């Protein structure tokens, strides 16, 4: 995005810090549809999972999309923490723990039951809104 232009809040939530892919021109961060990775040998796999070396392990722990998502975001904001939630039960509590009073929580109107119920009951009592 051009640094000299001023964008609205909603636009920044989606595109702040992103640059189009130089090879394809794609605006969106690529999503790699895989749940597992091949390792050179058992020692390399152990080093990745023990966090002794940096590399892709399991899609919920580390994958090629995570570093790109953390580079985005307006300086001073915690957008990276809210961009990608795991598709598991933990997501409904993740946004509350990553938020502070005055933050905005943006979600679609149609959510899976767990997060929808949690957000309508827990967040109604939170001072975030």
> What does the pLDDT look like over 77-118, one tens digit per residue?
444 444 444 444 455 556 666 667 777 766 666 655 555 555
Query: How far is 57 from 80, CA to CA, in rounded Å?
Result: 20
Q: In this structure, what DSSP letter does residue 36 have?
A: B
Kindly give, in sequence order, each residue whose CB lies less than 8 Å from that of residue 87, ignoring residues fewer than 6 positions away.
none
Query: How far is 98 from 4, CA to CA, in rounded Å?
Result: 29
pLDDT, tens digit (0-9, with 9 covering 90-100), for 6-61: 778 877 777 777 778 787 788 777 777 777 888 999 999 999 888 898 888 876 66
pTM: 0.39
Torsion of CA 39, 66, 28, 81, to 10 degrees: 160
Nearest CA to 65 among 105, 34, 24, 43?
Answer: 34
Task: Go through the chain and tell me how many residues it has.
Answer: 129
Query: How far is 66 from 86, CA to CA, in rounded Å?
Result: 12
């Amino acid at each position: 995005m051009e640094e000299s232009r001023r964008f609205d809040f909603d636009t920044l939530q989606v595109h702040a810090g992103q640059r189009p892919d130089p090879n394809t021109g794609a605006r969106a961060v690529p999503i790699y549809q895989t749940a597992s990775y091949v390792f050179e040998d058992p020692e390399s796999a152990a080093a990745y999972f023990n966090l002794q070396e940096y590399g892709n392990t399991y899609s919920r722990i580390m994958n090629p999309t995570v570093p790109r998502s953390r580079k985005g975001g307006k300086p001073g904001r915690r957008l990276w923490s809210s961009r990608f939630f795991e598709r598991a039960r933990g997501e409904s509590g993740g946004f509350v723990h990553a938020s502070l009073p005055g933050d905005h929580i943006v979600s679609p109107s149609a959510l899976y039951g767990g997060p929808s119920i949690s957000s309508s009951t827990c967040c109604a009592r939170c001072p975030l809104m």
